[in-house]
Chain A
Amino acid sequence: MGSTSAEHSSPKSGTDGQIAPSGVGRRDLIKRSAALGLVSVPAMGFLSSCASGGGDGEEKAKAGKKTDKNPLAVNETAQMEFVLFDGGFGKEYAEDAVKVYEKAFPKAKVKFSATQKIQSTLQPRFNGGTPPDLIDNSGAEQMDMGVLVGKNQLADLTPLLDAPSYDDPSKKVRDTLRPGIVEMGQFDGEPVWIMYYAYTVYGVWYSQKALDRLDEKYPETWDEMLAVCAKAKKKGMAGWTYAGKYPYYIPFSLYPMIGKVGGREVLDAIDNLEPNAWKHPAVKACFEAYYELQQKGYVLKGTPGLDHIQSQTAWAKGEALFIPNGSWVENESANVIPKDFDLAVSAPTGIDSSDKMPFGTIWASGGEPFIVPAKAKNGTGGMEQLRIMLSEASSKNFTAKVKSLTAFNGGTDGISLTPGLKSGVAALEKAGDNVVNPRLQDWYVKLQKEQIGVSGLGEMMAGRATPAEAIKKIQGYADAAAKDDSIKHYKHQ
Chain B
Amino acid sequence: MQHGKYRFIVGFLALPLGLYALFVIWPFIQSIYYSFTDWTGLSPEFKTVGFDNYTKMFHDDVFWKSLQHSLLFAVLLPVVTISLALFLSFMINVGGRRRRGGPAITGVRGSSFYKIVYFFPQVLSIAIVALLFAFAYNPDSGAINSVLRGVGLDSLQPLWLGDPNLALWCVMAVLVWSTVGFFVVLFSAGMASIPADLYEAALLDGAGRASTFFKITLPLLWDTVQSGWVYMGILALGAESFAVVQIMTTGPGGPDYSTTVLVLYVYQKAFRDGQAAYATTIGVALLVVTLLFAAVVMRLGRRERLEF
Please list the residues of chain A having a beta carbon within 8 angstroms of any beta carbon in chain B: 2, 5-6, 9-11, 22-24, 29, 33, 36-37, 40-41, 44-45, 48, 50-54, 119, 123, 126-129, 141, 143-144, 146-148, 150-153, 244-247, 300-307, 310, 314, 319, 445-446, 449-450, 453-455, 458-459, 462, 464, 486-487
Quick one: given A44-B21, A144-B273, are A126 and B137 in contact (CB under 8 Å)?
no
Using A52-B39, A301-B140, A305-B162 as known contacts, list a sample of 14 further A-B pairs with CB atoms less than 8 Å apart, ordered by residue number in A.
Answer: A5-B9, A11-B1, A52-B34, A126-B43, A147-B43, A151-B40, A247-B250, A300-B140, A304-B162, A305-B159, A445-B273, A458-B250, A464-B164, A464-B256
Report the stretch among B11-19, B173-181, B213-221 that lies at the interface. B11-19
**Option from B18, B160, B161 in Cβ contact (under 8 Å) with A40:** B18
| Cα-based distance from A99 to B2 in the complex (angstroms) | 69
Q: Are B42 and A143 in contact (CB under 8 A)?
A: yes
| Cα-based distance from A446 to B260 in the complex (angstroms) | 14
Report the number of A-B residue pairs with Cβ-Cβ less than 8 Å: 179
Q: Which of A126, A146, A305 has the most CB of B within 10 A?
A: A305
| Cα-based distance from A127 to B270 in the complex (angstroms) | 14
Show 8 residue pairs from A and B whose CB-CB distance is below 8 angstroms, ordered by the A residue.
A2-B12, A37-B20, A41-B25, A151-B42, A244-B162, A450-B253, A454-B253, A459-B255
Say if the beta carbon of B26 comes within 8 Å of chain A.
yes
Say if the beta carbon of B38 comes within 8 Å of chain A.
yes
Q: Are B42 and A33 in contact (CB under 8 A)?
A: no
CB proximity of A27 to chain B, nearest CB, Å: 14
Q: Are B278 and A454 in contact (CB under 8 A)?
A: no
Say if the beta carbon of B237 comes within 8 Å of chain A.
no
| Cα-based distance from A409 to B300 in the complex (angstroms) | 70
Please list the residues of chain B having a beta carbon within 8 angstroms of any beta carbon in chain A: 1-2, 4-6, 8-9, 12-14, 17-18, 20-22, 25-26, 29-30, 34, 38-46, 56, 134, 137-141, 145, 157, 159-164, 249-251, 253-257, 268, 271-275, 278
Q: Are B141 and A314 in contact (CB under 8 A)?
A: yes
A residues near B26, Cβ cutoff 8 Å: 41, 44-45, 48
Q: Which of B9, B38, B163 has the most CB of A within 10 A?
A: B9
A residues near B162, Cβ cutoff 8 Å: 244-245, 302-306, 462
CB-based closest 4 A-B pairs? A302-B139, A305-B162, A304-B162, A147-B274
Q: Are A305 and B139 in contact (CB under 8 A)?
A: yes
Q: Are A305 and B9 in contact (CB under 8 A)?
A: no
Quick one: given A144-B273, A147-B274, are A29 and B1 in contact (CB under 8 Å)?
no
Q: Are B29 and A41 in contact (CB under 8 A)?
A: yes
Q: Are B42 and A148 in contact (CB under 8 A)?
A: yes
| Cα-based distance from A310 to B139 in the complex (angstroms) | 10
| Cα-based distance from A327 to B163 in the complex (angstroms) | 29
| Cα-based distance from A175 to B275 in the complex (angstroms) | 37
Quick one: given A123-B41, A151-B42, A245-B162, are A143 and B13 in contact (CB under 8 Å)?
no
Q: Are B5 and A6 in contact (CB under 8 A)?
A: yes
Q: Are A245 and B250 in contact (CB under 8 A)?
A: yes
Q: Are B138 and A305 in contact (CB under 8 A)?
A: yes
List the A residue with the shortest CB-CB distance to B61: A480
List the A residue with the shortest CB-CB distance to B8: A5
B residues near A464, Cβ cutoff 8 Å: 164, 256
| Cα-based distance from A300 to B139 in the complex (angstroms) | 10
B residues near A44, Cβ cutoff 8 Å: 21-22, 26
| Cα-based distance from A303 to B140 in the complex (angstroms) | 7
Q: Are B44 and A54 in contact (CB under 8 A)?
A: yes
CB proximity of B297 to chain A, nearest CB, Å: 24
B residues near A144, Cβ cutoff 8 Å: 40, 42, 272-274
**Option from B5, B138, B273 in Cβ contact (under 8 Å) with A306:** B138
Q: Are A52 and B4 in contact (CB under 8 A)?
A: no
CB proximity of A247 to chain B, nearest CB, Å: 8
Q: Are A151 and B43 in contact (CB under 8 A)?
A: yes
